[in-house]
Structure 1
Amino acid sequence: MAGQNISDIIEAYLKQILAEQQQIEINRSEIAAQFNCVPSQINYVIKTRFNQQQGYWVESKRGGGGYIRIEKLQFNDLNHYIDQLLDFVDSRLTEDELQFFLQQLYDHDMITKREAQIVAVLAAHQTLNLDHRIAEETLRANLLIGLLNSLRYQRLS
């Protein structure tokens, strides 16, 4: 676990459980105690790494018997998943945001690691070398939209 921070470790732990079950219910305080961290750290991990954009549904109940329920979303088909991703693509995209989308495509076996690396290099600031950040981010968003639509049409034929 060298090089991993506590958020990475908590994420891996929850994803390991979710690999075996469609849905889990956790107690924020119990998980925090297990990892010797503050409960807000659990909130941070869930908010940033288990949201709808990443294929999860999160529901929480506060109070004495409170819980956090995390459920893996099941997409009816890949086209539905692509539609979901397209809904999250803004008209401009930073390199970090593109990297996030590429990771999602890789995690869902829609592209290979090599393909993700190639797209990342092609859309990198050093490659695009545009004078205006807005133009660069717009081009990057258009490239991702084109890639997503290409994946959709590949899947249909």
Structure 2
Amino acid sequence: MYKLTTILFLIVSGILCYTTYSYKDQHDLVQEERNVLKIEISNLEEDKKYLNSKVKGLEEVLKSLGREVEILEQKFSGEQSLYRVNDRLTQRNSNASNNIIETKIDGTFNGWNGESIFKMKNGSVWQQASYAYQYHYAYNPDVTIYLKDGKNYMKVEGVNEALHVKRIK
């Protein structure tokens, strides 16, 4: 009976020790996890502060770019108005009775492809205003730009069709 009591005592003591040890280990693990989480939260807060400072910097850059865009838009709209006035004056001065401008394309001409832009020897720049495709190679070909039904058309030497264009400079 003494042996049985001793064995039972040892078993119960071992269970109690193990249970106590397990609770202590669990408590230590929880504390360790809390400490790790506190460090991670601290790191995240630092990251948040850093990113907020970057966002503020980018917001300032966007504001300055917005101001620059406004200035460019004002300048562009002003230039477009000047081009329109210049178009009217050029049309009046070129040939008042027929509204004709005669010039040459400055450099190589390869026809048009839907969004073509044409720089002229007189300094004006014209853009294709309707979709069409035409291939024709020429160097400094003669060009006649005329007004018909309120629209400008460009006739290039050696090309049978005239092209609807608008002046951009």
- Give me the TM-score of the superposition, normalised by structure 1: 0.27
Larger Rg: 2
Instruction: Looking at secondary structure, tell me which structure has more strand per residue.
Output: 2
Relative CO higher for 1 or 2, CA cutoff 8 Å, sep ≥ 6? 1
Instruction: Looking at secondary structure, tell me which structure has more helix per residue.
Output: 1
